[in-house]
Structure 1
Amino acid sequence: MDMEYLPSYEMSWGTLGTVRPFLNFHAKRDALNIQTALEQKDAPTLIKILTNRSNAQRQIIAQIFKTITEKELSSGLKKALSGELENLLLALMMTPLQFEAYRLRQSMEGIGTDEEGLLEILCTRSPKALANITSTYKEQYNKDLETDLKGETSGDFAKLVLALLKKKKIVGMVQRDTEALAEAINQAKADPGPWITILTTRDSEHLNKVRCIQSPNLYLAQRLETMKAAIVQGVMVSHSEEDLLCVRVAYLRQTGTSLYTALQKQFKGDHLQALLAICRSED
């Protein structure tokens, strides 16, 4: 192993992710192999390398590639590939924070707002992660995330997403919250206020006791059930180094079919092979 190219970040073999640091990592070798693969439009080689390296390792490869070629690796991928495979590998080349900021931006662009896309990130990320995503969004797009959310949403949904963006862990009494939620929903005109407050300010352990939200893993599994390329890629890339194994288990319980098998029924070609590489195996 060439220690010059092995960063000092924490290894993640104990995580519930499916993509982990490649032990025999050599960034220059990878960069040169990728350069050749791009010239030959060799998608299988690109997939093999990029789906078998952690994000931190991919960032190092991109830096070495730029030093060698004086070009951005992402630009090379755009020229050599197309369609969903291009989108997937470009997603893998973003840092995790950049990718989450990108997904939020995509959810607000175009005609109509992808409300589920916003909720997926805002509901499943910690307050600290959301603060970092907000900063990255500002750097990446020179726009304020809170301002954009206000402009792209309205009514009670706007209140919800803005509260989620600023959520903090607050210890509350289970009995009090249960009564407040029951009172809010039993009124002649349901009051969304208490629901928004409790759902966005209580920690996950507290919410599990109230039983007013589902497991994040189940929620993500249900998102994957759509089998829409953008959603599948978004969830799998975002959670590939964190908890995709848990999402796979939730998917199997929810559908009776493993995610690995479901992907093979929906996608094909090199795009499928890249998705399977991130998914890793059958359950």
Structure 2
Amino acid sequence: MAAEFIIKYRLARAALELAGTMLAWEDFDAEADADALRKAMRGIGTDEDEIIEILANRNNEQRQEIKEKFTQCFGKDLVDELKSELRGNFEQAVEALLDAPPVYDAKCLRRAMAGAGTDENVIIEIMCTRMNEEIEAIKEAYSAEFDRDLSEDLESETSGDFKYLLVSIAACGRDESDEVDEDKAQEDAQELFDAGEDRWGTDESTFNRILVTRNFNQLRATFVAYEGVAGCSIEDSINDETSGNLQTGYLAIVNRAKHSANYFAERLHDSMAGGGTDDDTLIRVIVSRSEIDLLRIKAAFFVKYEKGLASWVEEDTSGDYKKILLGLIKGDDE
């Protein structure tokens, strides 16, 4: 039985206009899939292609049903069984697919804060791009998985104005209506200008209040008005007036408001560009966005980098790991 926070998360997602590559499998049979996965792991060797065929063609809700049916039929945990058979990045991708989305985000956040050092980029990617209902579900999943309070961990693992930004986001106070008040946009634009470009030093509290509480349509109107007031873009001002993790967090919110697909396209590109591959980010973005907006991200990726996302992944990964990622992406023309 799905936890209450997962049910709330699904209901919130159902209200969104989604553009994911992963849809519900029409002829879905959880028991047949569970049995096929069991057979793929029996005997000498593992049938990785069968595992990929099933997991890369079922949406997350169906995967949760397969997990439950596997335990009912065979008395074993599907994730544990697969982990004993698989290795490396392929294992990591499979495990990510079998977590419910808020549980997966909670695990990513915990890994980003556990041990020595903190991976602020992971925290920013998740906290600065999720909607209120998603964050509430992540907080509940975090508590259920780790018996810890997410807001308290964010506060203890970060500092300064960046800490205040994250704690504010975790409080889930963003207006999520579609309404735009042009007068308010003009007023907020002037406040942002007065708090940054028009003074010595920066009043981060004003940036924090406006960026964290206004709905994204309202923020887009504010950013347009800002260019008229300041004579430059809000991104230019943030780059001039802030630095470090706070700057990265502010820019993530701006990009999320303007065109979230561009933000995630950049994250994917950066994970593969240069020497080596940031496989954690590559898996996290593809898996977490596959049922939300991966179609838009693919389009944004092609426009920005003049080459398809699937082509990049094809060249940058290998083996079964490559196959499962490409199975989620569904090619460059879909």
Task: Please indicate, yes or no, whether the TM-score normalized by the shorter chain is above 0.5.
Answer: yes
Residue matched to 1:164:
169
Does structure 1 residue 272 correspond to structure 2 residue 322?
yes
State the AA in 2 paired with 1:19: M
Q: CA deviation at 1:242?
A: 1.2
Does structure 1 residue 262 correspond to structure 2 residue 312?
yes
Residue matched to 1:33:
36
Q: Tell me the percent identity.
A: 32
Q: CA deviation at 1:269?
A: 0.8
Q: CA deviation at 1:110?
A: 2.8
State the AA in 2 paired with 1:221: A
Moved >4 Å (runs of 4+): none
SS of 1:71 mapped into structure 2? coil
Q: CA deviation at 1:169?
A: 3.3
Does structure 1 residue 174 correspond to structure 2 residue 172?
no
State the AA in 2 paired with 1:231: T
Residue matched to 2:57:
52
Does structure 1 residue 185 correspond to structure 2 residue 229?
no
| Matching residue within 98, 123, 127 for 2:128 | 123
CA contact (8 A) 2:19 2:295 kept: yes
Residue matched to 2:269:
225
Output the CA distance in 2 between the equivalents of 1:25 and 1:128: 28
Q: CA deviation at 1:167?
A: 3.6
Residue matched to 1:5:
none
Output the CA distance in 1 between the equivalents of 2:330 and 2:144: 33
| Matching residue within 190, 203, 206 for 1:194 | 206
Output the CA distance in 1 between the equivalents of 2:89 and 2:219: 37
What are the ranges of 5 or more consecutive residues in structure 2 without an aligned counterpart? 1-9, 224-233, 235-253, 273-277
Residue matched to 1:240:
290
Q: CA deviation at 1:210?
A: 2.0
CA contact (8 A) 2:301 2:309 kept: yes
SS of 2:128 mapped into structure 1? helix
What are the ranges of 5 or more consecutive residues in structure 1 without an aligned counterpart? 1-8
Q: CA deviation at 1:31?
A: 0.9
Q: CA deviation at 1:155?
A: 0.5
Does structure 1 residue 209 correspond to structure 2 residue 221?
yes
Q: After superposition, give the CA deviation of every residue in 1:38-84 in whole Å (9 maximum; x if it has no partner).
A: 22311111011111111111111111111222110000111100000
Output the CA distance in 2 between the equivalents of 1:156 and 1:274: 39
Deviates further, 220-229 or 199-208: 220-229
Give the TM-score of the pair, scaled to structure 1: 0.92
Output the CA distance in 1 between the equivalents of 2:166 and 2:100: 23
RMSD: 1.8
Q: After superposition, give the CA deviation of every residue in 1:86-125 in whole Å (9 maximum; x if it has no partner).
A: 0000010001111111111122123221112111111211
Residue matched to 2:243:
none
Residue matched to 2:155:
150
Q: CA deviation at 1:15?
A: 3.6
CA contact (8 A) 2:34 2:67 kept: yes
Does structure 1 residue 249 correspond to structure 2 residue 299?
yes
State the AA in 1 paired with 2:204: P
Output the CA distance in 1 between the equivalents of 2:190 and 2:170: 25
